[in-house]
Amino acid sequence: MITIQNLHKSFGDLEVLQGIDLQIDPHEVVCVIGPSGSGKSTLLRCVNGLETITSGSIVVDGIDIGASKNNLAAVRREVGMVFQSFNLFPHMTALENVILAPTRVRKLSKSEAVERAEKLLARVGLADKRDSYPAQLSGGQQQRVAIARALAMEPRVMLFDEPTSALDPEIVGEVLDTMRALADEGMTMMVVTHEMGFAREVSDRTVFMDKGQIVEIGAPADLFSRPQHPRTQDFLNKVL
């Protein structure tokens, strides 16, 4: 579903991604862990073109995102993204947030989009919040609306960029539950996270990144219990 080959990304003189190769299969859940500054968020942001890539290639669902502007737009329609800071549109209600892209990009009629949005809000447990503005919602509720907003485009892939890092510890669970349900339904997911428990339990494969490189990749049972690389061992010792 996602094929990343020899991906390099530099900000000025700083090379934050130094030759990433990664293949993600349909319905696979891949969690990316690693220390701050390891390039994991940048990698994620390259997949839907929020960062331009310096060299290498990313192909999503058969579409090479670097080949043309049209391809980039096509990939963005197929890839949903959830941000650390939610980034809900504060001047719109939860429902308006969810229907904006389907009506503007997918050209759904308003009634179709509203019907879809209501189902999605119900699915993330927020049917009664459809007319609330983001400022009236808790962080966990905002993030669930953001997930519903991304799902409203019926993406083939979902990207999560530290979706629980801005949340109070006691409401992290509600967002992780929503993501777990999504994984169970077979969504292809790439998740940058500091939630080791979630990575261990939900991911099919876990990627450990450090200093712009993939250091180790494997089934979570192996990676968390028997890390092969000293840098992985060192990192896991610190966070677990």
Which stretches of the chain bind other proteins, using CB under 8 A?
A: 48, 50, 73, 76-77, 79-81, 83, 85, 87-91, 100-101, 104-105, 128, 131-138, 146, 149-150, 153
Q: How far is the CB of 210 from other proteins (least distance, A)?
A: 25
Nearer to other proteins, 171 or 196 (CB): 171
Q: How far is the CB of 121 from other proteins (least distance, A)?
A: 14
Nearer to other proteins, 16 or 152 (CB): 152
Candidates 203, 221, 196; CA nearest to 35 is 196
DSSP state of 39: S
Nearer to other proteins, 76 or 231 (CB): 76
What is the spatial distance between Cα 4 and Cα 157, in angstroms, rounded to a whole number? Answer: 14
First to last CA, the chain: 31
* Strand 55-60 relative to strand 157-161, pairing: unpaired
Nearer to other proteins, 94 or 176 (CB): 94
What is the spatial distance between Cα 94 and Cα 96, in angstroms, rounded to a whole number? Answer: 6
Q: How far is the CB of 181 from other proteins (least distance, A)?
A: 21
Candidates 31, 22, 4; CA nearest to 204 is 31
Q: How far is the CB of 116 from other proteins (least distance, A)?
A: 14
